[in-house]
Amino acid sequence: MNLRYKSTRNSERTVTASEAILKGLADDGGLFVPEYIPKLDVTMDELRSMTYQETAYAVMKQFLTDFTEEELKRCIENAYDSKFDTEVIAPLVKVGDTYHLELFHGATIAFKDMALSILPHLLTTAAKKNHVTNDIVILTATSGDTGKAALAGFADVPGTKIIVFYPKGGVSRVQELQMVTQRGDNTSVVAIHGNFDNAQSGVKAIFEDKELEKELSESGYQFSSANSINIGRLVPQVVYYVYAYAKLLENEEIASGEEINVTVPTGNFGNILAAYYAKQMGVPIAKLICASNENKVLFDFFQTGVYDRNREFILTSSPSMDILISSNLERLIYTVAGGDSEKNKDLMEQLKEKGAYEITPEMREKLSDFVGGFATEEETKEAIQTTYEKTGYVMDTHTAVAAYVCAQYRRESGDPRKCLVASTASPYKFIHSVMTAIDSRYADTDEFELVDELSRISGMEIPKAIEEIRNADIRHTRECDAAQMKDTVKEILGV
Instruction: Report yes or no: 32 and 14 within 8 Å, Cβ to Cβ.
Output: no
The answer to whether 353 and 346 are in contact (CB under 8 A) is no
Q: Does the footprint of ligand PLP cover residue 278 (CB under 6 A)?
A: no
Task: Choose between 248 and 400: whose C-beta lies nearer to ligand PLP.
Answer: 400
Kind of pairing, strands 356-358 and 135-141? unpaired
Gap between the Cα atoms of 236 and 7, Å rounded: 20
Quote the Cα angle for 123-66-331, to 5°: 70
Q: Which helix (H) or strand (E) holds 120?
A: helix 119-129
Provide the minimum distance between the beta carbon of 328 and ligand PLP in the complex, in angstroms, as a whole number. Answer: 7
Q: Which is nearer to ligand PLP, 326 or 488 (CB)?
A: 326
Q: Which is nearer to ligand PLP, 249 or 469 (CB)?
A: 469
Residues paired with 101 in a beta bridge = 92, 422
Exactly one of 228, 261, 293, 344 binds ligand PLP (CB under 6 A); which one?
228
Number of H helices, E strands in the chain: 22, 16
CB 316, min distance to ligand PLP, A? 11
Q: Report in angstroms how near the CB of residue 397 gets to ligand PLP at its nearest.
A: 8
Binding residues for ligand PLP, how many (CB under 6 A)?
Answer: 17
Instruction: By CB under 6 A, tell whether 428 contacts ligand PLP.
Output: no
Please, which residues have CB within 8 angstroms of residue 446's CB and are 6 or more apart in sequence?
none
Cβ 131 to ligand PLP, closest distance in Å?
32
For the packed helices 196-207 and 485-493, what is the interaxial angle rounded to 10 degrees?
60
* Interaction of residue 321 with ligand PLP, rule CB under 6 A: yes
Binding flag, residue 108, ligand PLP (CB under 6 A): no
The reply to whether 268 sits near ligand PLP by the rule CB under 6 A is yes
For the chain, the farthest-separated pair of C-alpha atoms sits apart, in whole angstroms, at 61
User: Among residues 58, 110, 336, 347, which is the contact residue for ligand PLP, using CB under 6 A?
Assistant: 110
Stretch in the footprint of ligand PLP (CB under 6 A) among 44-52, 183-191, 245-253, 269-277: 269-277
Binding mask 382-401 for ligand PLP (x = CB under 6 A): ----------------x---
In the bound state with ligand PLP, the residue whose beta carbon lies nearer, of 230 and 424, is: 424
125 makes contact with ligand PLP (CB under 6 A): no
Window 460 to 489, contacts with ligand PLP (CB under 6 A): none
CB 325 within 8 A of CB 269: no
Nearest approach, Cβ of residue 218 and ligand PLP (Å)? 34
User: What count of residues does the chain have?
Assistant: 495
Strands 370-374 and 135-141: unpaired
Looking at this protein, which amino acid is placed at residue 488? T
Active site residue 112: yes
Q: Report the chain's C-alpha Rg in angstroms.
A: 21
- If one asks whether residue 265 binds ligand PLP (CB under 6 A), the answer comes out as yes
Which residue in 271, 295, 335, 488 binds ligand PLP (CB under 6 A)? Answer: 271
Segment interacting with ligand PLP, rule: CB under 6 A, options 62-70, 88-96, 110-118, 373-381:
110-118
- Identify which of residues 50 and 367 has a Cβ nearer to ligand PLP in the complex: 367
The answer to whether 311 and 297 are in contact (CB under 8 A) is: yes
Figure out which of the listed residues 387, 424, 433, 488 binds ligand PLP, where binding follows CB under 6 A: 424
Nearer to ligand PLP, 29 or 319 (CB): 319
Region 126-165 residues binding ligand PLP, contact defined as CB under 6 A: 145
Among 270, 372, 427, 463, binds ligand PLP (CB under 6 A): 270
Quote the CA–CA distance of 102 and 209 in Å, as a whole number: 39
Cα(159)–Cα(318) distance, integer angstroms:
34
- Candidate list 18, 108, 181, 320; residue touching ligand PLP; CB under 6 A: 320
Cα distances (Å, whole numbers) of residue 44 to 18, 69, 257, 433? 28, 21, 9, 39
Choosing from 6, 112, 247, 296, which is the catalytic residue? Answer: 112
CB-CB contact of 372 with 301 (8 Å) = yes
Q: Does 232 bind ligand PLP (CB under 6 A)?
A: no
Q: Which of 278, 261, 299, 314 is nearest to 421 (CA)?
A: 261
If one asks whether residue 425 binds ligand PLP (CB under 6 A), the answer comes out as: yes
Q: How far is the CB of 36 from ligand PLP (least distance, A)?
A: 22
Residue 348 interacts with ligand PLP (CB under 6 A)?
no
Decide whether 293 or 436 has the Cβ nearer to ligand PLP. Answer: 293
CB of 241 to ligand PLP, least distance (A): 13
The reply on whether position 115 binds ligand PLP by CB under 6 A is: no
Residues 6+ apart with CB under 8 A from 492: 163, 188
Q: What is the DSSP string of 9-73?
A: TEEEEEE-HHHHHHHSB-TTS-BEEESSPPPPSS-HHHHTT--HHHHHHHHHHHH-TTS-HHHHH
Q: Enumerate the active-site residues.
A: 112
Binding site for ligand PLP (CB under 6 A): 110-112, 145, 228, 265-271, 320-321, 398, 424-425
